[in-house]
A = this chain, B = another copy of it.
């Protein structure tokens, strides 16, 4: 691997790790507050569909890092979505 490819791989891996790990504190915050009113439901639905698309893209181009990073982010996004539905229902009989 030459120096340029090494830097490209490093920057891409760091970026992927950060944009995936970012959603861990959001899961923790919603879980601790037992509240997700300010979280946008459509945001996490559209984000999840998009992430599933990235997993499909990674499968087509046979890139394990793209599949892995986006699968993990998808799991975190779905957890945030499920917690939102759960806590919205607990707060209001009809979720807003």
Residues of A with Cβ closer than 8 Å to B? Answer: 4, 7-8, 11-12, 14-26, 28-30, 33, 35-40, 42-44, 46-47, 49-51, 53-54, 56-57, 60-61
Are B47 and A22 interface neighbours, CB within 8 A? Answer: yes
Are B18 and A43 interface neighbours, CB within 8 A? Answer: no
- Minimum CB–CB distance from A12 to chain B (whole Å) comes to 5
Are B49 and A18 interface neighbours, CB within 8 A? Answer: yes
Are B11 and A50 interface neighbours, CB within 8 A? Answer: no
Specify the chain B residue showing the minimal Cβ separation from A14: B53
User: Roughly how many angstroms separate A56 CA and B35 CA in the complex, as a whole number?
Assistant: 35
Are A15 and B57 interface neighbours, CB within 8 A? Answer: yes
> Which 3 pairs across A and B sit closest by C-beta, in order of nearness?
A18-B50, A15-B53, A19-B50
